[in-house]
Structure 1
Amino acid sequence: MDSPPFSMDSPPFSMEGLDQALSADFISLGLSVAGLGVLSHVSIFRTLPVEEYLYGLLGLYIVTLCLITLAYITVTNLALLQVLVRVGWIAFAFNVALTSSIGIYRLFFHRLHRFPGPVLSKLSRFYDAYLAGKNVQYNVEIEKLHDTYGDFIRTGQSDMILGV
């Protein structure tokens, strides 16, 4: 049976502790990283204007994945393919948890969640971009949404368009 990721025999900030953490099984590794994805949504993405810091956050994400890859290569005795699979699993678990947390928040807990509108529009601005690009008549599409949903419609994460 494997030892837990952090045993009392080796402190977590030693090379042995780092090796044990990196060698954790896939389930506990995925759950830990998924927890970090949800925590980053709650602590960073709900409080920070992401549009202003998008390139910095993307750079931080890429640097973090590179450092995790480097740590796997230097600390563990795993083959390169195993390292890439583990880093891919870490990125996948983080991204799925982050996007799921954002989606659940926007659908059920956002301050405008009670207003009617297309579900895809509540989740992302891509649907509105699709509507705007469709025949390049966003006003006609908005009028169709008003006919379907009524005077008040939610067309984005924090936008609301009032009917006439």
Structure 2
Amino acid sequence: MGVHVDVTSLLKTSLVAAVVGVLSHLGYFIRGEHHMQSARYLAVFLIAPAILFVTLVRLADNASYIDVAKTTAVATLSYFTALVTSILTYRVFFHPLRRFPGPFSYRLSKLVHVASLVEHSRNFEQAEQLRQKYGDIVRVGPNELTIFTPEGLEAISGVGSKCTKAGCDLPTHEKRRKVWDRAFSAK
């Protein structure tokens, strides 16, 4: 008969996991662009609870599998709840783009915009509707603006711009650029 996990232990586990969730957002996920690695993150997030379960089974000699499963479930749920809450709170209240107008749901996730395109499938028409409703600069994702004015290009790409481009793999960029250079040349 194993030692049962008590409520105090589960509360401590929940608190620690929630703090780790918030810290992982503030220390890692808040920086850079992570959408290109979503498959990798999904794999890690699916495998991590299994690793935690196996680790707890090995560390807790007297615990039953059910108690370890409870602890693993509480830790996993607390981590993800805190991580998602931290991300959404940041996107709505603290993100540098928070003052730009746009549909509220677009601030939370790019998936909302993508899902709306499944219905309409004509992004340019939807973009025009957003421009009419919100103006020449519209927030269309958590980290994305659509700019409808020619001055926007100068502000983003012009001399003295404080905008930065996403990091890229330089050899891959050079290879792709050669293809595009040929496509737009006079030859």
Bigger Rg over Cα? 2
Question: Which whole-Å deviations, capped at 9, do the CAs of 1:28-62 have from their partners, x for residues lacking one?
Answer: 21111100001001111122432344444444444
Aligned to 1:68, the other structure's residue is in SS state helix
For residue 126 of structure 2, what is the aligned residue in structure 1? Answer: 141
Aligned 1:1-164 pairs, distance under 5 A = 25-74=9-58, 75-163=60-148
2:80 and 2:146 mapped to 1: Cα distance? Answer: 31
Compared with structure 1, are the counterparts of its residues 56 and 135 closer, same or farther at alpha carbon in structure 2 (3 Å cutoff)? closer
Question: Which whole-Å deviations, capped at 9, do the CAs of 1:76-134 have from their partners, x for residues lacking one?
Answer: 42222222121111110000100111101111111110011111111111011012212
Compared with structure 1, are the counterparts of its residues 40 and 76 closer, same or farther at alpha carbon in structure 2 (3 Å cutoff)? same
Compared with structure 1, are the counterparts of its residues 116 and 33 closer, same or farther at alpha carbon in structure 2 (3 Å cutoff)? same
2:123 and 2:40 mapped to 1: Cα distance? Answer: 32
Compared with structure 1, are the counterparts of its residues 116 and 56 closer, same or farther at alpha carbon in structure 2 (3 Å cutoff)? same
Count residues with an aligned counterpart: 144
Tell me, which stretches of 5 or more residues in structure 2 are unaligned?
1-6, 150-187
Compared with structure 1, are the counterparts of its residues 140 and 111 closer, same or farther at alpha carbon in structure 2 (3 Å cutoff)? same
1:103 and 1:143 mapped to 2: Cα distance? Answer: 27
Q: Report the identity percentage.
A: 25
Moved over 3 A (4+): 51-64
1:90 and 1:55 mapped to 2: Cα distance? Answer: 22
2:115 and 2:38 mapped to 1: Cα distance? Answer: 22
Aligned to 2:141, the other structure's residue is in SS state coil
Compared with structure 1, are the counterparts of its residues 111 and 141 closer, same or farther at alpha carbon in structure 2 (3 Å cutoff)? same
